Structure formats: structure tokens, C-alpha cells
Structure 1
């Protein structure tokens, strides 16, 4: 495949794509990019949990995919009915359309990850995305990774499954920005990675000001439209903490050379400092379309993936150090990452249970990260995980211990 996009150069060959998490936000935006660039991308497989079979069937018939997967085996009949309903809505005659192959059950996403294609976009939510990540890598596919739990919970497993360098293309906006900036220098020239954080709804708050935070307040993100767990993680800075672990795993930079800066405009998506003192940043309006398009087309860019910044207007961008006293989640994640031995998986699982308890009114806002710290302190002396089952066992212990500690607390 040519890497030159100069006038007169060959255009990149069309890529076959499998999208896991197709009915979610990232998956839906990826399909939008495919629709606008049919000469660049073709979707051959779609996978989802099974909670929105109508949307999945509509996507599959529109794009003419070869295979569709649902993680819930019980959703198969509903999916088949959704195909016929969608076909009728489109005016297809009975039997006048091709029904994709359907795979279902807990291994469906893993099976799809090995389907013949060029790129697997893994936008599955949670630790369920780890097995498909490993399957895609072992099958030699390029992995556009939007499932952070794969690296946070299963970093050692992911590293062992790589079949070639640069097989993973990050889809998180911050890590996509880092990957773009890193193209400007050799590995030995990198001094520091700088991840930017919006600061969430409580940017600038002192710890004592956060004691009475309600779920409604925590869900009021000023910049991004995200799901409830990620939005609350942004409020506690856990989301950025998990991204620090991701950055370490993706780029093999030590934790003490990964910095977080608060940037409320969410325009500078991350930066790389080089040994000569220069710092390169990637800037674009807050949107996931650019990192998703890069995930599908890397190293080539997709023209007009998203609107650019308006350089005819004035801009003011702020950057400030993270207040570790008010928001200790990042420092705690760095310690967990340095300790290894399933600590990052325990961190993530414990946080998920704490967020659920906070939303239910069983845990105060500050109790989220405080409880995660207590769970980590009590963790057994696990070895570095060698299997997915070992990761899941550590997560199960973390969830049980977290709920024991939460007990009868109220928010």
C-alpha cells in the first residue's frame, strides 16, 4: 500500500473492516466515515451486544455485510426478525435480500475479530473487549482499538499477542494524538508524553468542595457527550488515569515520563516533548471522527473526516497542571501500573463497582477513588496474568472486595 498522497500518487487500496460495538457511539461514527468514503472502506462484519437488534439489522442490510454477531445468544431470534422487518421497510421482496451469517453467544465477538479483513475496530465496552483484541492480534489483523480495558486490564497479554510492530492503532483521541506526534521523531528522542484532560465539571475545585457532589452534577460534562460511566470517570479523573496506563502500554514510556495537563477547551488532544526541548501537539475540534478515521486508515489520513479548526477566528487555550490532592486518581493509577500483577485490572473493576454505587446513592463522590485505593491495598499478590481467565479472576475478586467495603455506606 502506498504511503504517498502527493498529487498523482496512487490512492490507498480499499480496506475491509469489521466493527465490534457497531451500535454504540464509536461504532456508529465509524460507519458514518465508511458511508462517506466507499472507495476507501468496506464493512464486512458487524458485532454488538444484542440490545439494539433493529439498529444492527439496519446497518447490516445497508452495508451488505457478510457476517453479524451478537454477544447475547438469546438475541438471535430477535435479530432475524429485525432483518425481515428492515427488509420489508426497504421494500425488498420476500427472499429478495441476502441474509448475513449470524454468530451469537459469548464467543461471537472473538469469532468476528478473526474474520477475513484488513482492520478490526474494537469498540466493545468493558473487559469483554479483551478476548476479541487478542483474537484480532493473533490473526494478524490491524487493530483499531477503542476498548481501553484491553490494555488497562490485559496489557501483558496484549503485548504477548502482537504479531508485528504498530499492529495496534489507538482510537482514543488522546492516544491518537500521541501517535500522530510521535511520527515526528525517533523513539530515543522522546522525553515525555503529555496527556490533556478537560478537567470535567469540577475543574479547579478543591477536595473539600467535592464532598457533597451528586450524580447529576457529575454527569454534567462541559465538553464531551459520553456515556454515564465515562462521564463520571471524567469527573473523578479516573478516565485520564486509565488513559495514562494505556499510554504506557501503547508507547512503552515509563510512568514517570507521562504527565497530565488540564485543558478545558479539549482542542489540544495531547502532546509529545522531545529531548531537544521541542513539544509537538495535535489540535482539532472536540470530535472522535478524526481518531476513528485514522484508526481505519492508518497511516493514511481520510480527507474531510471532520471539520478543522477555524483559523480565521481568535483562539484562547488554557493549560494547567493537574491537582493531585483534589484528584488523586492519576497518581493511584500510576502506582498500580508500576506494581503490575493485575493491579490495573483491579483498579478498573473496583472503579466500575464504585461508580455504580455512587449513581445508586450508596457511596459519596470522594468515596469512589478512596475505595479503589483501599481495594488495591488489600489485593492478593497476583502474578503477571498469562491468560484472560486470570485477568477475569482478579477482576471478580476486586468487584467482590469493593462491594464488601462499600457495605451500607450512603452518598
Structure 2
């Protein structure tokens, strides 16, 4: 982003450790999105390492209150929060069932701002495992409060852009995405000036090797059959369209301050190599583990220390084959579109992300064909045009752009469905 404010180092830099609350004993951690995939694996890691981490608060949407109550009891947290206020009665019942007689119950916060309040609470590290751009406010709150931010919520960085970079101190953000945790670790092998290229790997999703024409009639079930990772439906569809990889390209640019033309995507079906850094001397450093998110989560919570046995390691005594293929940009135009909106900056990434979220929901509901996801997102981005916010981007700008993009995506989707019904 040419108009981004100058900063002394990349947003995520393994050579810099932001640790204003360093001390003996376990790190106090707040987990946002505790009942989701990232949250549950993070809690498993914490429970296996009580000498390193202590969870003080949990935040969830409110759809799985029994699990949230169980987590709260096992971790003995001070506070739990739910975004859905209507989930509070069920949460109270679940907590009463999980806790024994006489055991003090945790404080309950509820509402859209509850996670944001927890993100600014007294702790060392905030793990933002919320899905979607609703994670932006908690991300900003954690940074403003001076917390170390273990960031799994890529959307908040992508849609917030300059808002996040302006608030984050060097080393304050530790990425938790497997790809960005891999880049983070590989970058530790050299200096910033020696970096020639970032190489982000993609599994290729369930449709690797198919042409655009082949994708015209794929079903929701086809798209949700990811060959490597077990994820929620929205993230899994994003992997099928490779939108997730486009978002990761934008995220890599913002985290590591590397120009878009030096960030490459390659398809690696085995998902063993999570990303690579090519240095100016021709060396390439790859970070590799079996597919498992507990490793990246451990980096996010524990850096600069590593957590022993956080995730499985390879058995090098067994033969294996690792493959790499170029990305088919015709079948999967999402990555190039993401580069485009990333270079536009301002509210363009927010428009891209919001339109995609709406289109994915329409696809999951059977209201939009698979190829229609990116066709609609492209149209919304084109209609949005070039943003004018630059470095003056505000949260209101982001919210307004998202609202417009969601509305426009729904309008286009509805017209598409009507036209197909008449055909």
C-alpha cells in the first residue's frame, strides 16, 4: 500500500518481541471465538501446558453454550461473553449444570461489544479466533490496550488495513494462520532486506485440477469436501474458491510489508509445507509440519518460546511425496482479484470480503452457483471503483463499505436467481 503510514518494521517481525508484561509464571490469555475450531484447539493446548498459559476469559457467539460452560469450568475463567444476548438464559443454565454446588460462577457479558470489551481486559495475550470482519473491533481494542495479539481473524487485518497498522507496535501481532505462522518462522532465518519473495502455499481445495467449465455445476457437498483440513462451512468454501488464498496474499502484504508482485501462490496438495521465503542469495526456507493448527496456535501464544510437542512431527523414516503446481488463475480468479483490491487499498478489501461472505452464504443456501460467487464479487468490486479514503480510513468507512457491498451482492444474487428461474 503506497499510502500506508511509515512504520519502523513489518507488522509481524520474528526478530522483534513485543512483551510489555513479561514476567514469571503462565501468560494470561483471553480467547475470542472459544467454541470454534481455533478456540477449541487453543484451549486444548492451554490445558496441556498449565505452566505456560492461563485463560482468564472466553468469548463466543452463543450457539454452543454447553461447550462454552464446560470450557469456562475447566479453565476456571473470570469472565465469559456471548455476542447473542438471547443466549444468556441458556448460558446461565449451562454454567449452573457445569459448576458444582458452592463453586463461584464467572461473570457474564453479552451483546455485540462483549468480545471487544474482553479484548481490552487485563491479560498478556488476546487470541482472536473470531470468524469474519466482526473481529475488527476486538483486534483494534486489543492493540490499543497494549496486548499481544495472536491473530487468527485475518478479516480484521484485511478490512481494517491502515486502522490496524496504525495501532500495532512492532512485534505486537503474532499471526496464527498456518501460512502466516510459516512465513513468520521462515523470516527468522534472514533479514528484511534479504527477502526476495514470499511463497504462500495452497492445498488447491477439493477442485484442484478442474477447469472453470468443470466448476459450473459443482454442489455444496462437493465444495465442503476439503481434502486436507476440517473447517467451518464458510472457510471451507473460501478454500474451494481460493478466496482464502487471496485474503492471505493481502494479509501477507500487510504483515510483512512485501509488495504484491513479490508474493506468489503455489498449489501444494499435501499441505505439508505451509509457506516459504525466498532470499536474495537463492535460498528458500520452508516451514513444514503435518497439517495441524495447534502448531501455529502455539507460535501465536508462546512466541518467542516454542511449546514442546504442540503438534505432531513428521516421521522421516517413511517415504513421502511432496508436489507443487502453479495456480490456475482462470479457474480460480480470486487471488488476482484480491491482489487488485489490496493494491487499491482503502475500503476495497472490505468490499471484496463482505461481498464474498454474502455470496458464500447464497451458495450454501442454493441461491447461487459456485462460479457465481466470484462473478458476483468481481462485479461488486468493479462497481465500488477506486476508494478515496487512503490513510484517512475510519471504522465508519469500513462499516459503510461493507453494508453497501452486502446489499449490492444480495441484489445481484437475487436478480441472478430470478433470471435462472425464468430460463
TM-score, normalised to structure 1, is: 0.94
| 2:393 corresponding residue in structure 1 | 386
Contact 1:362–1:408 under 8 Å retained in 2: no
Q: Higher mean Cα deviation, 384-393 or 150-159?
A: 384-393
Where 2:236 maps in the other structure, the secondary structure is helix
Alignment partners' CA distance in 2, 1:311 and 1:214 = 38
| 2:192 corresponding residue in structure 1 | 187
| 1:8 corresponding residue in structure 2 | none
Match of 1:168 among 157, 164, 173: 173
1:143-292, aligned counterparts within 5 Å?
Answer: 143-162=149-168, 164-292=169-297
Where 2:384 maps in the other structure, the secondary structure is coil
Matched, 1:134 2:140: yes
1:7-406, aligned counterparts within 5 Å?
Answer: 13-87=25-99, 92-93=100-101, 96-162=102-168, 164-379=169-384, 381-384=387-390, 386-406=393-413
Contact 2:347–2:393 under 8 Å retained in 1: no
Where 1:143 maps in the other structure, the secondary structure is strand
Matched, 1:408 2:420: no
Once superposed, which parts of structure 1, at least 4 consecutive aligned residues long, lie more than 4 Å away? none
Contact 1:12–1:40 under 8 Å retained in 2: no
Where 1:165 maps in the other structure, the secondary structure is coil
Alignment partners' CA distance in 1, 2:212 and 2:227 = 19
Structure 2 gaps, min length 5:
1-14, 16-22
1:129 Cα deviation (Å)? 0.5
Contact 2:178–2:274 under 8 Å retained in 1: yes
1:55 Cα deviation (Å)? 1.1
| 1:7 corresponding residue in structure 2 | none
1:362 Cα deviation (Å)? 2.0
Alignment partners' CA distance in 1, 2:254 and 2:384 = 22
1:408 Cα deviation (Å)? 3.5
Where 1:217 maps in the other structure, the secondary structure is helix
Deviations, residues 45-84 of structure 1 (Å, cap 9, x unaligned): 1111111111111111111111111112222222222111
1:227 Cα deviation (Å)? 0.9
| 2:18 corresponding residue in structure 1 | none
1:382 Cα deviation (Å)? 4.2
Where 2:59 maps in the other structure, the secondary structure is strand
Contact 2:161–2:346 under 8 Å retained in 1: no
Alignment partners' CA distance in 2, 1:130 and 1:328 = 26
Structure 1 gaps, min length 5:
4-10
Contact 1:137–1:161 under 8 Å retained in 2: yes
1:13 Cα deviation (Å)? 4.0
